[in-house]
Amino acid sequence: MAMFIIVIIALGYLFNYYYGDQSYGILIIAVIIAIVMSLTSYFSGDKIALATAGAKEIKKDANPYVYRMVENLCITAGTPTPRVHLIKDSAINAFATGRDPEHASIAITQGAIDQLNNEELEGVIAHELSHIKNYDIRLMMVVIVCVGIITLLADFFIRMRFYGGGKSKGNNKAGGIIIIVGLVLAILSPLFAKLIQLAISRKREYLADASGAMLTRYPEGLANALEKIKTQAQPLKKANQATAHLYISSPWNGAKKSFIHFTSTHPPIDQRINKLREMA
């Protein structure tokens, strides 16, 4: 989070130096847009994520097996029961979303219900409930907004550099250096922001694995579920880059095996399985 703040301040400083803008107009506009984005994300981000995934809320009478499993784990964890949603997809996956335990939802694919045994499904649900209890759902929304602010500022700088000119102070040599540094930072900062987002996402996945295993007292259940997820061939039908980090495993798992590792939203499944089995 500190890295995000540093990059945002650096971009803002370069804007004002290059354009000689003492009113901070560009930065103010960007912040206003970011505030609107963050409020929308905070209060409606879960609805957007669920709609994007095609998740439909279910009640206890629609699927008492899954609903009671969620309820029992919530009683053990001492947290409110989230709204339970079903994704009609044959792939094995699940995710949690919301802003706090009182305003949270969990979504599970039909494939997970059909293909996982009781202990495995319990491990997956415990993992997602841990994301809720650890406030990962809120943290990732904040991170998404920070990435959005950086991308927005970088886009402003590049567009105004080419279309609006500049009024930088100082001699031409210093102004030229600032232009070069500003362009490089504007081009690379979205990439740096994305890498920071991925790093945070991976760390929280490891934490949720450990917390979920402690909740069920059976790490092998989640490890076995991850084994099945690893070997499945089909991706989620409604996989989306914006929500990929929310799932227990990459929604493209098995479909993009050659994809570069450092761009993945999740740590390698083999490492997660090994860490879980070391807990047993």
Dihedrals φ, ψ of 266, to 5°? Answer: -130, 150
Coil vs helix vs strand at 83: strand
- In the residue annotation, 128 being an active-site residue is answered as yes
CA 106 to chain centre: 14
**Which are the contacts of 221, defined by CB distance < 8 A and separation ≥ 6?**
119, 120, 122, 123
Please identify which of the residues 71, 102, 122, 128 carries the catalytic annotation. Answer: 128
Please name the residue ranges forming H helices in 54-84. Answer: 64-77
Distance CA 90, CA 217 (A): 28
103-109 and 94-100: which strand pairing?
A: antiparallel
Q: What does each C-alpha distance from 69 to 5, 63, 94, 95, 217 come to in angstroms?
A: 41, 10, 14, 16, 15
Q: Rounded to whole angstroms, what are the CA distances from 218 to 126, 242, 263?
A: 11, 32, 31
Dig out the tokens for 227 from the structure: 């084994």
Contacts 24+ apart (CB under 8 A), 172-179: 175/18, 178/14, 178/17, 178/18, 179/18
Spatial contact of 179 and 226, defined as CB atoms under 8 Å apart: no
- Separation between Cα atoms, residue 219 and residue 99, nearest integer Å: 27
Which residues does the annotation mark as catalytic? 128
